Amino acid sequence: MTYPKPDSSPDQPRTSHQVSTPSDISLIRTFVGGFVQGQVVLLANPHLRTEPLFNNSMQLLSKKEGLIATANLDAAPISMLVRETTTLAPLLHETLATHQFYPLAKAEADSCYLYRYCCAPEGYNLRCTTAKELWRISWGRGFGNRGGIPLDLIVWYQTPNGARASWQPLRGMDCEQGLLQIKILGGALWVNSSDWVVWARKETPIPTAQDLDPDRSRLYSRGRLPLNN
């Protein structure tokens, strides 16, 4: 009987399932996903990490830039503060927008945007652009020449203390001393041209064949002649 020869090669390390390190994009998406679901997530890679807070909240930190965002899950509605000066702010903005969380207010002292869930009223399409882009879209619309209150463009307005928050009709925009003035019903907002603004535009009905050709619609509205038996 022959026996197998002992293996003289050095011992090989046993393989095991290793948990892959998430990329920056994957980590941020998971962080936002946990926030939307009201769950604290713990993740880390060589550049970013999440940490829980004592009040059932969490924060996102960068090795180079420090604090990036703070997710508040304790109070309703849930909200997230994002530092606008960080390099990751655009990615966080894009990811939050996919879940309909938008920058509804700005804390000037901390250079942070407050993100909360927001949806447009029925019949409107929600947009989130810079104030400069809204000015371009509303330019030359003749707000001062209209009768009544224009309702084709509305802007989300929130007081600094959050006591008042609602959609307001856009009555016009002006530029003064390097700032843009967004005129709304009963007041105005002063913003920088690069500031985020949440607004909505009234949907335009798609024209039908009857709208495009009234004569043709009248032809079909005459009905059919009765068939002879």
DSSP string across the chain? ---PPPP-SPPPPPP-PPPPPPPHHHHHHHHHHHHHTT-----B-SSEEEEEETTTEEEEEETTTEEEEEEE-SSSSPEEEEETTSTTHHHHHHHHHHTTEEEEEEETTTTEEEEEE--PPTTEEEEEEEHHHHHHHHTTS-GGG-SS---SEEEEEE-TTSS-EEEEEEEEEEEETTEEEEEETTEEEEE-TTSEEEEEEEPPPPP-HHHH-HHHHHHHTT--PPPP-
What tens digit of pLDDT does each residue of 21-67 get? Answer: 899 999 999 999 999 999 999 999 999 999 999 888 999 999 999 99
| Between residues 158 and 140, the one the model is more confident about | 158
Q: Determine the pLDDT at residue 225.
A: 40
Report pLDDT for 206.
Answer: 53
- Give the pLDDT confidence of 158-203 residue by residue, as tens digits: 866 666 788 999 999 999 888 999 999 878 999 999 999 999 999 8
The pairing of strands 196-202 and 112-117 is unpaired
Q: Average per-residue pLDDT in the chain?
A: 82
- CB-based contacts of 187-193 (< 8 A; 24+ apart in sequence): 187/157, 189/155, 189/157, 191/131, 192/131, 193/130, 193/131, 193/132, 193/135
Q: What pTM was estimated for this model as a whole?
A: 0.78
Give the Cα separation of 137 and 130 in Å (integer): 11
Most confident of 1-5, 167-171, 206-210: 167-171
